[in-house]
Chains A and B, each alone.
Chain A
Amino acid sequence: MRRTLPLHAVAWIVGAFILVPIVYALLGGFKSTDQLSTNPFGLPDPWVTENYTDVLGSGSFWRQLWNSTFIAVATTAIVVLLSAMAAYVFARFAFRGRELLFTVFTVGLMFPFAVAILPIFVMLRTLGLLDNPLGVILTQAAFGLPLTIIILRGFFRSIPGEIEEAATIDGCTPFGFFWRILLPMARPALATVSVLAVVGSWNTFMLPLVVFSDETAWTLPLGVQQFQGQYTSDIARVLAYLVLAMLPALGFYAVAERHLIGGLTAGATKG
């Protein structure tokens, strides 16, 4: 214990650096704004629940929550399905031009999204997809393809060829093999890429910022930004909104932590 004491001290300091802002927001949401300036460090006295209940009672918070969820789920479904199909071909078929085609996708990893935002905006406006969730969903899915295809191709490759041969001999079509054997076997990899896609979609800001001008289409990040602008002087209320907007992401992290970290680190350490 004596040997690890300095280690613990450092870990505690770093932990405080991480946690103090979050705990401050959580407790601050239970204070009034006056309390926040007179009693910034202590526990709320008295505990004010209005900040939280007001947010929960407002339709806009729930609408933004729903919009974020819908967009995240739809984006994930599209990007995972299309990537799995493409990755299947890249992993299990030999044909001329395969590596070139695969490289086209992988180069997409280097394209900063910000580079494409103006043309995408002009394009979505021309197609009438502004203020339409589809504009965000399809764009996000497209930019999610490279990483998803790369991860899935790697996993599909690791499935022994004998299984495919056996299935083919038994009369399985390529589609049958893909749908009934490959995808069920790839469940861990599918879970990983899905978690990455959900977190990515949940947190995007730039794209919905330019696509959605209509308040009813807003996602949580847009709502948080707007709420801060609207209640500049009522800090306690903004903190309550922040905390409630954090909860889904933190909850998801608690559930899917292994897949998230596994997916993020696997790529960076192999090579």
Chain B
Amino acid sequence: MTTLTRGPQAPAPAARARPPRRRRRPWMTITLFVLPALVLFLLLVVAPIVVALYASAFKWNGFGGLPTNFVGLDNFTRLFGTEVFRQDLWHLAVIILLSLGVQLPFSLAIAMLLHQRVRGRAVYRLVFFAPYVLSEVITGVLFSLLLSPDAGLANQILGVFGLESEWLADTGTVLPSVFLVMTWKYFGFHMMIYLAGRQNIPDELIEAARIDGATPWRVFRHVTLPLLGPTIRISVFLSVIYTIQLFDLVWILTEGGPSHASETMAVTMMEFGFGRNQVGYASAISVVMFGLSLVFALLYQRFVMRRDLEGATTSMGDHR
């Protein structure tokens, strides 16, 4: 409230002249306040995506102004006829399945565990979340050393039991290895979301079920889990959207190899766009990523989150 006393510094004449001006002034304020953000957003977010959509219909090396060599949908037919790209889609599916089937349930279990009155749980939370603040590059380099076939720590430990593996160098193990690293970095993030969601559930509900004689598992299955629904659905949403554009971690760990076994759409896009200057073709990959995100977001909001929110995007972080 002390700030209010500093308020009346505007000169009196201006105050007297306000009533007639009041009708016009909001528009000026609105324009002046929104314009900078809007210009930046249109210029660097909307325009590039429109350009990507446009460029995907051309054969273009990215030089000499706008593209001119129109090829229609050729880039897309070529794309879907390519083994590497079809593998990208397969890898996306595998990682999403692993995330939803392993990583998120694991995060949920740990969150439920740390919701108990375990001594030192604040420290556990702090430690489990810590990898989230490390960049994907640091995480990637760290694990590429840990998982290196000869000198890596993983093989030195597992060597004791005779369980060495090629990890990132073997086409069969590379994808699970990348997923392991993703879990190391991100399970703490999902755990935190679940913990926050769990804290919003009144303990009375859990107590009531327990007094009625429900076993801990049934309490979890029929009370806690349904009430965590909105939280879980958001975390699934974030996980899928992240996986669609997965790049940094894969690029550092494997560059998509060995022989494309861990390649993602974003990696293929970067290789063609920057490595081979096939900007039109690479834009087609961008457009597929964009389309997948958009279709997923719309369908997910329409069919999965409709009970929770008016819209996933408009409600994230909204404190209303």
Contact = CB atoms under 8 A, between A and B. Distances in A.
A82 B37 contact: yes
Given A118-B62, A265-B196, A257 B7 contact: no
Contacts of B189: 264
B114 interface: yes
B151 A37 contact: yes
A249 B290 contact: no
Contacts of A77: none
B293 A111 contact: yes
How large, as a class, is the contact surface on chain B?
A: 35 or more
Interface stretch (B45-53, B81-89, B90-98, B203-211): B45-53
A15 B128 contact: yes
A237 B317 CA distance: 41
B37 A228 contact: no
Q: Is the interface of A mostly helix, strand, loop or mixed?
A: helix
Nearest to B305: A271
A172 B41 CA distance: 30
A115 B290 contact: yes
Nearest to B16: A171
Contacts of A71: none
Contact of B274 (A210, A242, A245): A210
8 contacts: A11-B114, A15-B128, A108-B46, A143-B45, A147-B317, A170-B7, A249-B135, A271-B308
Interface of B: 3-4, 6-10, 12, 14-15, 25-27, 29-30, 33-34, 36-38, 40-41, 43-49, 51-52, 55, 62, 110, 113-114, 116-121, 124, 126-131, 133-138, 141-146, 148, 151, 153, 156-157, 184, 188-189, 192-193, 195-197, 200, 230-231, 234-235, 238, 241, 244-245, 247-248, 251-252, 265-266, 269-270, 273-274, 279, 282-283, 286-287, 289-290, 293-294, 297, 308-309, 311, 313-320
Given A8-B118, A114-B247, A120-B48, 8 more contacts: A90-B34, A93-B30, A154-B318, A170-B8, A239-B145, A265-B192, A269-B197, A270-B320
What are the 7 closest A-B residue pairs judged by CB atoms, nearest first? Answer: A267-B317, A142-B44, A203-B135, A154-B319, A119-B48, A112-B245, A265-B196
